[in-house]
Amino acid sequence: MPGDSGTSGDDQRRRRDVSWPVLLALVAVMVSLNVLVVALVPNDRPVRARIPYSPLFLDQVRAGNVASISSQGETVQGQLKREITVPKAAGEAKVTTQLFSTEVPTFANDTELADLLERQQVEVNAKPPDTGRSFLETVLLSLLPALLLLGVIVFVLRRMSGAGGTAASAFARSRARRVDPAADAPRITFADVAGIDEAEEELEQIVDFLRDPDKYRRLGARIPRGVLLTGPPGTGKTLLARALAGEAQVPFFSISASEFVELYVGVGASRVRNLFTDAKKAAPAIVFVDELDAIGRSRTAGPATGGHDEREQTLNQLLTELDGFDASTDVIVLGATNRPEILDAALLRPGRFDRRVPLQAPDTAGRRQILDVHVRSVPLAADVDLDRLAAATTGMVGADLANVINEGALLAARRGHPQVEMGDLEEALEKLILGAERRIVLSPEDRRRSAYHEAGHAIAGLLTPGADPVRKVSIVPHGESLGATLSVPQADRFSYDRGYLEAKIRVALGGRVAEELVFDEVSTGAQADIKQVTEVARDMVGAWGMSDRIGPILVLAGNDLSWHPVDGSPDTARVVDEEIHRIVEDALDAVRALLRDNRARLDAVAAALLEHETLEEDAIRAAAGLPPAPPPAGVATIAG
């Protein structure tokens, strides 16, 4: 894999940067321009008649009509005092001119000619007086197209970068925006980031390291080089990276990887190199690479759409830079992406982006905190209820909330309100929801349905013997799904018994059954649940020998849902189907009974979810009226 080449020689690196086809094309263009220009620019060399040495030239000298000559080897050029008319060359039209040239035969008597010239007082020069273009002119003329082309390139590059800069560096400037701690721009700190406390905590150690690297180095601690911030757009990845730099008071270099992938092959790679050179010079420093997936897309993840070489070169350069750090370089690289799953595995190796900090859409409390941050400099009227605003914005991320406040302030200003009123904010919210191309908030009905669905999973998980403990429940939209219930086994399991698998099926059915119970109908939200149920039931029957009618025989081949019986018999297929259905129907009956019997618990958990949106294990148990979770069984406890 090219990405593994790691540290490489300087020349190899340079070769990667310069793409030969492009270079050759440039040279070809310059050469042809050159030829064109030299041919097209008129050479105002005067017409010079070639005349025979004898008798014409000697006659003219003797007649005293030669003003001056100059000689170079056998060739003599000169100027006459009066014009004469001679054929310009054999067979050509006659010309009338004062300028001539002639060839002195080698056998001519040099002294005799010299005497003659002297007698006639002809001016004799060693160099021809005029050769049309001078040497300097010729050089300038041939350089002109090259200079012009260079000028155009520099112009284009500067236009593209939208900023000034010297011509020489325009080609490969890193274009990173550098933010210095000492700069006038207000320093962003963790106080400006809200609602993503876990991510903040992860980064605090890095702040500490940047402030006092020696403290860590003395103990031989290895600080992560690369930290990958993942999460949906607008959740505050850039903000967090800047806050990190602000907290540590170090320079912050930021660049978007999508800018690397531009017109010219090789530009991305040299920009990456310059970026890191600058950062190392300024160390301790933070380099932030936004939209990392633009260059870091997996090389196997489908065909790239253009710019493939460029992307690969840039990615390789980035890997080289990451690998090239030695232990004494205090540069931390933060990457951001909203699609971590498509990143090239080479980027995620140890020593590269090996630490991940996930950011999620905030829950009610998180949104309230984010609103607080953004109203700090906004005068609010007494009727403003930020809790209500937070509750009404399920699904919104930090960027959306910042927008709501800003739009609200704009509206208030337009209406001449002295302070921002709740009405302004509500209208701003409405406007944003209507104008957004993606659905940014959950409707109240969707929220309620989602809360019952997740509460159904949670209750089934809590009350079914043998099920994995429920760790966290959330109705904050997450990717495609509206909510999530997280169950984590207490210890790694290597084999499953029938009871465990049946419990798994029941928990997966809990969401759907709850919807059925409360709303008398089910939504499409249970699709992933149904897939899981089907897969587990199928494997119980066809692969794990847990159906008495089939027995401990492997009967299924194929993968996923397109299975078929190994023996190809339709009878076997029918029995397998019946068994799968029986297992699922039994589980459905059990879950229906369970949730009906525990309807009060279901309602309570759903209500708690509607209020808080995310619940941790203890909060779920408390809402369901259950005692706190017993200590994990996997951990040894000493009995007295």
Specify the length of the chain in residues: 640
Burial of 490 (0-12, 13-18, 19+ CB in 10 A): exposed
Nearby residues of 471 by Cβ (< 8 Å), 6 or more positions away: 486, 487, 488, 616, 617
Which residues inside 529-588 make contact with Zn ion, applying CB under 5 A? Answer: 529
Please pick, from the candidates 236, 461, 477, 565, the single residue that binds ligand ADP as defined by CB under 6 A. 236
Nearby residues of 62 by Cβ (< 8 Å), 6 or more positions away: 116, 120
Q: For residue 462, what are its two tokens?
A: 């809590």
Q: Is 200 in the site for Zn ion (CB under 5 A)?
A: no
Burial of 416 (0-12, 13-18, 19+ CB in 10 A): exposed
Residue 589: how many CB atoms within 10 A of its CB?
Answer: 12
Please pick, from the candidates 105, 233, 489, 625, the single residue that binds ligand ADP as defined by CB under 6 A. 233
Q: CA-to-CA distance for 504 and 533, rounded, in angstroms?
A: 8
Please pick, from the candidates 58, 378, 399, 575, the single residue that binds ligand ADP as defined by CB under 6 A. 399
| Nearest to 288, CA basis, from 236, 209, 229 | 229
Q: Report cis status (omega within 30 of 0) of the bond before 284.
A: yes
Q: Please identify, among the stretches 202-210, 273-281, 528-536, 629-637, the one whose residues bind Zn ion according to the rule CB under 5 A.
A: 528-536
Q: Is 367 in the site for ligand ADP (CB under 6 A)?
A: no
Q: Please identify, among the stretches 43-51, 228-236, 317-325, 584-592, the one whose residues bind ligand ADP according to the rule CB under 6 A.
A: 228-236
Contact 600, 623 (CB under 8 A): no
Identify whether 321 is a catalytic site residue: no
Q: Smallest distance, Å, CB 232 to ligand ADP?
A: 7
Q: Please identify, among the stretches 244-252, 356-364, 377-385, 510-518, the one whose residues bind Zn ion according to the rule CB under 5 A.
A: 510-518
Q: Please identify, among the stretches 59-67, 317-325, 394-402, 434-442, the one whose residues bind ligand ADP according to the rule CB under 6 A.
A: 394-402
Q: Smallest distance, Å, CB 473 to ligand ADP?
A: 22
Q: Is 344 in the site for Zn ion (CB under 5 A)?
A: no
| Nearest to 205, CA basis, from 180, 187, 223, 231 | 223
Q: Please identify, among the stretches 145-153, 169-177, 188-196, 301-309, the one whose residues bind ligand ADP according to the rule CB under 6 A.
A: 188-196
Q: Tokens 């076997």 identify what position?
A: 572
Distance, CA of 99 to chain centre: 70
Q: Report cis status (omega within 30 of 0) of the bond before 340.
A: no
Residue 98: how many CB atoms within 10 A of its CB?
Answer: 17
The one of ligand ADP, Zn ion, none whose footprint includes residue 529, by CB under 5 to 8 A per kind, is Zn ion
Task: Return the H-helix or E-strand segment holding 337.
Answer: strand 331-337
The one of Zn ion, ligand ADP, none whose footprint includes residue 511, by CB under 5 to 8 A per kind, is Zn ion
Our CB check for ligand ADP shows the closer of 362 and 511 to be 362
Q: CA-to-CA distance for 386 and 376, rounded, in angstroms?
A: 12
Q: Is 501 in the site for ligand ADP (CB under 6 A)?
A: no
* Apex 144 CA angle, 143 and 147, nearest 5: 85
Q: Smallest distance, Å, CB 197 to ligand ADP?
A: 10
Q: Is 238 in the site for ligand ADP (CB under 6 A)?
A: yes
Q: Please identify, among the stretches 139-147, 229-237, 321-329, 342-350, the one whose residues bind ligand ADP according to the rule CB under 6 A.
A: 229-237
Spell out the alpha helix ranges (H) of 436-526: 444-463, 498-519
Our CB check for ligand ADP shows the closer of 78 and 231 to be 231
Our CB check for ligand ADP shows the closer of 364 and 487 to be 364
Q: Smallest distance, Å, CB 295 to ligand ADP?
A: 17
Q: Is 340 in the site for Zn ion (CB under 5 A)?
A: no
625 sits in the region (left: phi over 0; alpha: psi -120 to 50; else beta) called left
Spell out the alpha helix ranges (H) of 543-569: none
Instruction: Tell me the number of residues near ligand ADP by CB under 6 A.
Output: 17
Q: CA-to-CA distance for 113 and 130, rounded, in angstroms?
A: 23
Which residues inside 128-167 make contact with ligand ADP, applying CB under 6 A? Answer: none
| Nearest to 441, CA basis, from 378, 517, 372, 364 | 364
Q: Smallest distance, Å, CB 12 to ligand ADP?
A: 34
Q: Smallest distance, Å, CB 455 to Zn ion?
A: 11
Q: Is 402 in the site for ligand ADP (CB under 6 A)?
A: yes
Q: Smallest distance, Å, CB 453 to Zn ion?
A: 6
Q: Is 2 in the site for ligand ADP (CB under 6 A)?
A: no
Q: 288 has which bridge partners?
A: 254, 334
Task: Return the H-helix or E-strand segment holding 529.
Answer: helix 527-542
Nearby residues of 198 by Cβ (< 8 Å), 6 or more positions away: none
Please pick, from the candidates 296, 511, 542, 565, the single residue that binds Zn ion as defined by CB under 5 A. 511
Spell out the alpha helix ranges (H) of 9-82: 10-17, 20-40, 58-62
395 sits in the region (left: phi over 0; alpha: psi -120 to 50; else beta) called left
Q: Smallest distance, Å, CB 227 to ligand ADP?
A: 14
3-state secondary structure of 290: strand
Q: Is 226 in the site for Zn ion (CB under 5 A)?
A: no
Burial of 318 (0-12, 13-18, 19+ CB in 10 A): buried
Q: What is the CA radius of gyration of the chain?
A: 41
Q: Please identify, among the stretches 269-277, 398-406, 451-459, 507-515, the one whose residues bind ligand ADP according to the rule CB under 6 A.
A: 398-406
Q: Smallest distance, Å, CB 558 to ligand ADP?
A: 41
Please pick, from the candidates 172, 193, 404, 537, the single residue that binds ligand ADP as defined by CB under 6 A. 193
Q: For residue 291, what are its two tokens?
A: 């939209």
The one of ligand ADP, Zn ion, none whose footprint includes residue 77, by CB under 5 to 8 A per kind, is none
Q: Smallest distance, Å, CB 4 to ligand ADP?
A: 30
Q: Which of 321, 454, 515, 516 is catalytic?
A: 454
Our CB check for ligand ADP shows the closer of 237 and 504 to be 237
The one of ligand ADP, Zn ion, none whose footprint includes residue 579, by CB under 5 to 8 A per kind, is none
The one of Zn ion, ligand ADP, none whose footprint includes residue 402, by CB under 5 to 8 A per kind, is ligand ADP
Q: Please identify, among the stretches 80-88, 191-199, 547-555, 565-573, the one whose residues bind ligand ADP according to the rule CB under 6 A.
A: 191-199
Residue nearest to ligand ADP (CB): 398
Q: Smallest distance, Å, CB 399 to ligand ADP?
A: 3
Write out the residues near Zn ion by the rule CB under 5 A: 511, 529
Q: Given the rule CB under 6 A, which residues bind ligand ADP? A: 193-196, 233-239, 336, 370, 373, 398-399, 402
Residues marked as catalytic: 454
